[in-house]
């Protein structure tokens, strides 16, 4: 037995899905015929219901994945493959206070609201009025509006919440708003960003490096589905490939020096040590490995008379040997 306000998921044998909010008298019209809402209410989750043409539909309780896929959209929504990883990275759970900017159609807003629970809060910002209204309707439809506080404004002047546990930006130039983050989240909080192109990611990383942020990560998530046919199991012919890059970082206290300053400081501290090592190495190279050999004193040969010097045969052999030895030692 179902109650008014609950959401049901109806699936036919071909896999066609219908998400509907239970409401008395609000019958469901499908390609297979009409399904009476009173039959759905009486049957409950996990059972079957027939259309007026006799076609069978399963009645299932939707998951948050189903709710995200079922939101009415006017913009590209985040896919569940990114949302699942994002929820884990940001540490979203009951009681969390989360800031979001760029609500779009409310796909991620729905997931955040689901996981923060009744004790948590999502503060979502959307500057375009038409999207702001669409998100409001989608949250009402999913029954999660009481967990979300919406703001129809630009974040140029800052965020409408402080001391939050996590923050996510889905905007074109997130680097323009990084200076507002330390005032909005608790130091050490996780931050997430979604960007479609590599040049945007590069610019964001360069801005994050200036601090006060750390632990930067960039990921792209691909999901390939397979055809669940036991006799011929194989991948689907098509897949949704690139949908965006996720960038993550942690926020530090504003008193912490920027990443660039920290690198400069580390380089400055390392420079004297390198110079000292170089001088020491040069000194060691200049010094010979062994002590210099003492010069062997040479005894002067007695003077030879001129008549003897003119005669080669009269020159003593010892003098020639001593002169050669002296020259070698000095060299």
Per-residue pLDDT tens over the stretch 45-92: 999 999 999 999 999 999 999 999 989 888 888 999 999 999 999 999
Query: How long, in residues, is the chain?
Result: 331
Question: N- to C-terminal Cα distance for the chain?
Answer: 110
Residue 88, classed as helix, strand or coil, is helix
Per-residue pLDDT of the chain (331 residues; tens, 9 = 90+): 899 999 999 999 999 999 999 999 999 999 999 999 999 999 999 999 999 999 999 999 999 999 999 898 888 889 999 999 999 999 999 999 999 999 999 999 999 999 999 999 999 999 999 999 999 999 999 999 999 999 999 999 999 999 999 999 999 999 999 999 999 999 999 999 999 999 999 999 999 999 999 999 999 999 999 999 999 999 999 998 999 999 999 999 988 865 566 666 656 666 555 545 555 555 555 555 544 445 545 444 444 444 444 444 444 444 444 444 444 444 3
Q: Which of 84, 115, 81, 83 is nearest to 98 (CA)?
A: 115
Task: For CA atoms 35, 41, 42, 43, give the dihedral sign.
Answer: positive
Please tell me the distance from the alpha carbon of residue 173 to that of residue 161, in angstroms, as a whole number: 20
How distant is the alpha carbon of residue 227 from its chain centre? 31
Token pair recorded at residue 259 = 């990443």
Contact in structure between 115 and 90 (CB atoms under 8 Å): no
Give the β-pairing of 121-125 and 97-101: parallel
Condensed to tens digits (0 to 9), the pLDDT of residues 224-256 reads 999 999 999 999 999 989 999 999 999 999 888
pTM for this predicted structure: 0.76
Domains and CATH numbers, the chain: 7-62 (3.10.330.20), 65-227+235-261 (3.40.50.150)
Query: How many Å apart are CA 211 and CA 12, to the nearest integer?
Result: 53
């Amino acid at each position: 037995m179902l109650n008014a306000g609950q959401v049901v998921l109806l699936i036919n044998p071909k896999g066609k899905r219908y998400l509907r909010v239970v409401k008395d008298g609000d019958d469901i019209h499908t390609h297979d015929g009409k399904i009476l809402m009173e039959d759905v209410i009486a049957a409950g989750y996990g059972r079957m219901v027939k259309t007026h043409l006799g076609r069978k539909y399963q009645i299932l309780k939707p998951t948050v994945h189903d709710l995200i896929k079922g939101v009415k959209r006017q913009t590209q929504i985040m896919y569940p493959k990114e949302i699942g990883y994002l929820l884990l990275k940001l540490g979203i759970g009951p009681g969390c206070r989360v800031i979001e900017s760029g609500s779009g159609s409310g796909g991620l807003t729905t997931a955040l609201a689901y996981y923060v629970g009744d004790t948590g809060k999502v503060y979502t910002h959307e500057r375009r009025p038409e999207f702001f209204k669409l998100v409001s309707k989608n949250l009402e439809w999913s029954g999660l509006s009481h967990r979300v506080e919406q703001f129809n404004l630009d974040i140029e002047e800052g965020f409408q919440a402080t001391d939050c546990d996590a923050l996510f930006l889905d905007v074109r130039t997130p680097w323009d708003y990084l200076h507002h983050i330390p005032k909005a989240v608790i130091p050490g909080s996780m931050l997430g960003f979604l960007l479609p192109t590599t040049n945007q990611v590069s610019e964001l990383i360069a801005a994050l490096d200036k601090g006060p942020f750390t632990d930067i990560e960039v990921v792209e998530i691909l999901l390939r589905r397979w055809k669940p046919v036991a006799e011929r199991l194989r991948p689907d012919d098509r897949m949704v490939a690139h949908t965006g890059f996720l960038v993550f970082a942690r926020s530090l206290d504003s008193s912490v020096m920027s990443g660039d300053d920290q690198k400069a400081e580390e380089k400055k501290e390392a420079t004297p040590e390198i110079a000292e090592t170089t001088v020491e190495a040069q000194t060691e190279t200049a010094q010979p490995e062994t002590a210099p050999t003492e010069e062997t004193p040479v005894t002067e040969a007695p003077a030879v008379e001129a008549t003897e010097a003119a005669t080669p045969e009269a020159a003593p052999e010892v003098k020639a040997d001593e002169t050669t030895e002296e020259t070698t030692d000095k060299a």
